[in-house]
């Protein structure tokens, strides 16, 4: 999906949320639009974004919501944590399906095989390839664990 189409979709989703009086969805979509506008208008981007940058913005918003919910839960503020978790669910609808477990393991295994990476000494190279290929679809820690397991022969 192009950036313009994505922004148009966000606009439609915001209108739908307003019509439905869905405050959680409305606030989540507004925060996405605000973050994209901020990113787009930064000096480095000069008014344009690519798909990877949009994905990075969405991942950053996802991470912020997760961290905020954890903090609120730790402080026994379940009411505030629920709001963050509800907004997180909305943000995740705009992210590609996440790779986890066996699917992540298989994806990393294919990437390593395709690039001829077989030794633990090639960990940095393997992480660079896997992180770039799976950006936005898997957590960096999970990618690292899968690469490490495969290079050490535990998951071959």
Q: Which residue is associated with the tokens 């590609």?
A: 96
The answer to whether residues 45 and 52 touch, using CB atoms and an 8 Å cutoff, is no
Average pLDDT over residues 2-24: 90
The predicted-structure confidence for 42-70, as pLDDT tens digits, reads as follows 767 677 777 778 888 888 999 999 999 99
Whether residue 111 sits in one domain with residue 65: no
Asked whether residue 67 falls in the same domain as residue 37, the answer is: yes
Among the candidates 45, 68, 92, a domain finishes at 92
Task: Give the domain extent around 143.
Answer: 101-151
For residue 60, give both structure tokens.
Answer: 């950053």
Question: Could you tell me if 115 and 49 lie in one domain?
Answer: no
Pair (43, 111) in one structural domain: no
What is the pLDDT confidence band of residue 1, given thresholds at 50, 70 and 90?
Answer: low
Roughly what angle, to the nearest 10 degrees, separates helices 51-74 and 23-40? 130
d(CA 68, CA 73): 9
Same-domain check for residues 52 and 115:
no
User: Tell me: the pLDDT tens digits for 90-130?
Assistant: 998 888 777 777 777 788 888 888 877 777 777 887 888 88
């Amino acid at each position: 999906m192009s950036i313009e189409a994505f922004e148009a979709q966000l606009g439609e989703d915001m209108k739908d949320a307003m019509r439905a009086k869905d405050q959680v969805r409305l606030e989540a979509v507004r925060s996405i639009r605000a973050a994209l506008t901020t990113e787009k208008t930064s000096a480095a981007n000069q008014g344009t974004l690519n798909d990877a940058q949009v994905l990075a913005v969405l991942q950053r918003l996802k991470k912020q919501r997760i961290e905020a919910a954890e903090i609120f839960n730790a402080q026994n503020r379940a009411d505030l944590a629920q709001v963050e978790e509800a907004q997180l669910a909305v943000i995740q609808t705009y992210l590609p399906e996440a790779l986890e477990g066996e699917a992540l393991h298989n994806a990393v295994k294919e990437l390593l095989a395709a690039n001829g990476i077989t030794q633990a000494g090639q960990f940095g190279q393997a992480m660079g390839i896997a992180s770039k290929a799976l950006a936005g679809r898997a957590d960096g820690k999970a990618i690292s664990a899968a690469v490490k397991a495969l290079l050490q022969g535990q998951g071959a």
